[in-house]
Amino acid sequence: MLLMAAKHAHDEPTRFFLFGGKGGVGKTTLAAAHALRLAAGGDRVLLVSTDPAHSVSDLLDTRLGDEPTPAGDNLWAMEIDPTADAERYVESIREDAREAVSKAVLPALDRHLKLAVQAPGTAESALFDRFTRLMDSAPGDYDRIVFDTAPTGHTLRLLTLPSMLGAWVEGLAGQRAKVNRLQGMWRSMAGVSEPDRDDRVLSRLRQRADRFTRARQRLHREALFHPVLLAERLPIEETVRLIDQLGEAGIPVGELFVNRLWPADTQSAFVAERVAQQDEYLAEIRERFAKRTLVEVAQSARDIVGRAQLDKLAERLPEPTIATG
Ligand SMILES: Nc1ncnc2c1ncn2[C@@H]1O[C@H](COP(=O)(O)OP(=O)(O)O)[C@@H](O)[C@H]1O
Ligand SMILES: [Mg+2]
């Protein structure tokens, strides 16, 4: 039976599930287990990971790459390498520009773009661009997409802040207009008068801006963000901040996964102490996140590696929440 979520402003079904939290809390593991649960319910599910350790390949016993690969019944998965993605992204911008600018400007452009690959924010921009493309494939190729998101707050900001996205696209469009002006000058100097009528680059930028707007709106209506945390001091505070940011961005918050809970062991004084502390933090989590639904996940004795172990973990998780409208 599916739980009904009344959190969405509109009654759209939840298409996108985002798992976020500090490094090592279990985002990748739980995102993969969640994807398995959704796929088991009969939906076509795509799991998207940006984990640099390629741990999803190990979890699903499938060699994954940069494009969706079949990884089980109703399940597809991919591992995006953000660095390679950023390079390809800048390369595509270079291709666009090459079509449009004169040879004289090319060396300067190349220098500029070489710097752009390393500039802070480029990898996130590339990633966001990729995410928005993938979002357009549900519904379509997929019914649901599970994103194992990077642990940085920067990605979240990019995913959410309309002003930043708008500014970014406008910045590019502005640069583009400048190039056009330069070109116009160049042409008139060379005695060629024909203006650049059909600006494909600019229209591609506009398409991108439209795609971003669409993605943002769908994040408000069709996404659930699942914070993952441990019953420890710092992750609790991190999660409070994360939920604040999500609230400001208008992204609905789903169940909180409290992961890696130690089983009580009265034999060992050390473990008993650990568990006592954990119980204090758990009580605090239940109080401070009283309005939220918690999913408490026990720590397995060993790391979760391979499909068999992942299946076992997935079986311990509750049915995914999908607002069915
Ligand atoms: N419930 C659990 N029981 C045992 N090991 C876990 C559990 N959840 C995560 N792990 C292990 O913890 C490590 C970090 O998990 P991972 O999902 O890669 O975290 P993240 O993606 O947040 O960095 C991995 O080795 C994983 O196998
Ligand atoms: Mg990870």
Torsion of CA 302, 306, 308, 312, to 10 degrees: 50
Share of the chain above pLDDT 70, in %: 80
Q: What's the rounded Cα separation, in Å, for the pair 84 and 89? A: 8
Residue 110 lies in a domain: no
Ligand 1 neighbour 42 (Cβ under 6 A): no
Among protein residues, the one whose CA lies closest to atom 8 of ligand 1? 26
Ligand 1 neighbour 304 (Cβ under 6 A): yes
Residue 254 is part of which domain span?
A: 16-93+122-165+216-316
pLDDT at 314 over 70: yes
What CATH number has the domain bearing residue 245?
3.40.50.300
Residue 321 lies in a domain: no
| Best CA proximity match to 183, nearest among 253, 249, 103 | 103
Residue 231 lies in a domain: yes
Tokens of 260: 């890696």
Query: Could you tell me the pLDDT band of residue 253, with boundaries at 50, 70 and 90?
Result: very high
Residue 289 lies in a domain: yes
pLDDT for 310 equals: 96
Tokens of 74: 């109703």
Ligand 1 neighbour 24 (Cβ under 6 A): yes
pLDDT at 4 over 50: no
Per residue in 168-223, pLDDT tens? 556 666 776 777 777 777 777 776 655 554 466 667 767 777 888 888 889 889 99
Instruction: For the chain, count helices (H), then strands (E).
Output: 11, 8
Ligand nearest to the CA of residue 58, numbered in listed order? 1
pLDDT at 56 over 90: yes
pTM of the predicted protein model:
0.83
Residue 249 lies in a domain: yes
pLDDT for 325 equals: 41
Angle between helices 200-222 and 122-135 (to 10 degrees): 70
Per residue in 64-83, pLDDT tens? 999 999 999 999 999 988 77
Around Cβ 105, how many Cβ atoms within 10 Å?
Answer: 17
pLDDT for 5 equals: 44
* 302/324: higher pLDDT: 302
Among protein residues, the one whose CA lies closest to atom 14 of ligand 1? 24
Q: What's the rounded Cα separation, in Å, for the pair 147 and 45? A: 11
Tokens of 213: 């707007």
Cβ atoms of 200 and 180 closer than 8 Å:
no
Q: What's the rounded Cα separation, in Å, for the pair 178 and 185? A: 11
User: How many separate domains does the chain show?
Assistant: 1
Query: Could you tell me the pLDDT band of residue 296, with boundaries at 50, 70 and 90?
Result: very high
Residue 53 lies in a domain: yes
Ligand 1 neighbour 52 (Cβ under 6 A): no
Per residue in 239-251, pLDDT tens? 999 999 888 888 8
Name the region of 46 (left: φ>0; alpha: ψ -120 to 50; beta: rest).
Answer: beta
Mean pLDDT estimate for the chain: 83
SS (H, E, C) 93-136: HHHHHHHHCCHHHHHHHHHHHHHHHHCCCHHHHHHHHHHHHHHC
pLDDT at 45 over 90: yes
Residue 22 lies in a domain: yes
| DSSP line for 27-58 | HHHHHHHHHHHHHHTT--EEEEE--TT-HHHH
Name the region of 72 (left: φ>0; alpha: ψ -120 to 50; beta: rest).
Answer: left
Strands, sheet with 75-79, edge to edge from the N-terminal-most edge strand: 69-72, 75-79, 45-49, 144-148, 16-20, 223-229, 256-261, 294-298
* 45/249: higher pLDDT: 45
Residue 76 lies in a domain: yes
